[in-house]
Amino acid sequence: MSAASPTSIVRQWLVEPLPADVARSIERLAAAPDVRHVAVMPDVHLSGEVCVGVAMATERLIYPAAVGSDIGCGMAAIRFDASADLLADEAAAARVLAGLYARVPSLKQRPGTAPAALPEKLEPSALSSPKLEKHKSRDGRWQFGTLGRGNHFIELQADQDAALWLMIHSGSRAMGQAITAHHLAAAAAPAGKSLKLVALDADGPAGQAYLADVAWAVEYAMQNRLAMIDAVAGLLQSLFGVTSMPESLIHSNHNHVRRETHFGRELWVHRKGALSAASDEAGVIPGSMGTASFHVVGRGCTEALGSSSHGAGRALSRTEASRAIGARQLERELRGVWFDNRQTQRLRDEAPSAYKDIHAVMRAQRDLTCITRELRPLLSYKGV
């Protein structure tokens, strides 16, 4: 434990010593006004003004950068009434991959199709500005039911009993980005301030507007993942006659801000790439395209603000990975996992070696989470 300022405490659960640039970023965050507690997860890595893999608590101020632009990004997992042997041969895997391209686009619904009608939970709520409402009626509808790029993915997996599971990682798509950019610009422009670590008063009009828009984006991201689950379930039903098991659903997000009680106080807890891990709370922690993933329940560690890692965390930036990892290395690392090998060059920055060792990450946070299930990847689908 180390005091970052007279009022801010930093706690860390690490796989290795922090790189200098990550340490400086955490120090700046801990020294920011009204920051009371910072918890650094073992998957921490540099990303903008606030690192991914950090949970932070304030009493009054809200920091959009400590939530990130992909508001509500998270994980969903569900089991199928089928064995992992369903994907034992290349022909079956190819049919699944082709079906995923058709049913779950990466960027927007395909030309010639009507934009999606948003679920009832999303339509009645008005966002805080006409500009955001335009984004909602345009991007919000055209991107609903889509995956996104980067580290977002759909994966079919086998658990220790060879049961078939689906795992999805995706967020609020362009809506989260638009909401974050709108509120940062509005907060900074009047005084000509920098966008770095802009803070909003949670009780003021700007803070209330941001929090309402965040709540909408979190719901959008959740409904988007559920729509993709339905699309994949429909695909597997049509191809193999198998069905999903709704009672097995695990669903959570790792980019949000919300009011929680810690240390006997009501605090605004920001999580950017940090999973909520309250006592007995179920969650999903992915590895990478070629490594294990885990279903967990939280241990409710107070010093971690009831949080854990949200994944393995990057060991190499995308630029570094693209330079260091060749196509043949990626193929070796993904041996035994079905994927679209036409995308090998593009996927080099998502290679398993671009990420930290997920088993080391899980060991580093043994007092934050309890593993309930380990899964191995069978088929990985990433958007193009």
CATH number of the domain to which 224 belongs = 3.90.1860.10
pLDDT of 117 > 90? The answer is no
Residue 160 burial (C-beta neighbours within 10 Å; 0-12, 13-18, 19+): exposed
Q: What is the pLDDT of residue 111?
A: 72
Helix (H) or strand (E) run with residue 333 in it: helix 327-333
> With contact defined as beta carbons under 8 Å apart, do 308 and 283 qualify?
yes
> With contact defined as beta carbons under 8 Å apart, do 64 and 198 qualify?
yes
Q: What is the pLDDT of residue 7?
A: 64
Q: Is 169 a catalytic residue?
A: no
Average pLDDT over residues 305-320: 96
Average pLDDT over residues 242-263: 98
- Asked if residue 340 belongs to a domain, the reply is no
Concatenate the DSSP letters of all residues of 104-142 into one string. Answer: S-SSSPPTTSPPPPPPTTTSSPPPSSHHHHHHHHTHHHH
Q: What is the pLDDT of residue 1?
A: 37
- Asked if residue 289 belongs to a domain, the reply is yes
Confidence at 110, pLDDT banded by 50, 70, 90: confident
- Asked if residue 329 belongs to a domain, the reply is no
Q: Which of 182, 295, 310, 359 is catalytic?
A: 310
Partners of 375 in the β-ladder: 159, 293
Q: What is the count of structural domains for the chain?
A: 1
Give me the chain's average pLDDT, please.
94
Handedness of CA 268, 212, 43, 375 (dihedral sign): positive
Residue 88 structure tokens: 């034992």
- Asked if residue 8 belongs to a domain, the reply is yes
- Asked if residue 140 belongs to a domain, the reply is yes
The pTM of this model reads 0.95
- Asked if residue 341 belongs to a domain, the reply is no
- Asked if residue 328 belongs to a domain, the reply is no
pLDDT of 370 > 70? The answer is yes
Could you list the residue range(s) of the whole structural domain that residue 170 is in?
A: 2-315+355-381
Per DSSP bridges, beta strands 8-12 and 35-45 are parallel
- Asked if residue 79 belongs to a domain, the reply is yes
Q: What is the pLDDT of residue 6?
A: 52
Confidence at 2, pLDDT banded by 50, 70, 90: very low
Helix (H) or strand (E) run with residue 237 in it: helix 205-240
> What's the Cα-to-Cα distance from 231 to each of 145, 225, 226, 236, 244, rounded to whole Å?
8, 10, 9, 9, 11
Residue 150 burial (C-beta neighbours within 10 Å; 0-12, 13-18, 19+): middle
Helix (H) or strand (E) run with residue 222 in it: helix 205-240
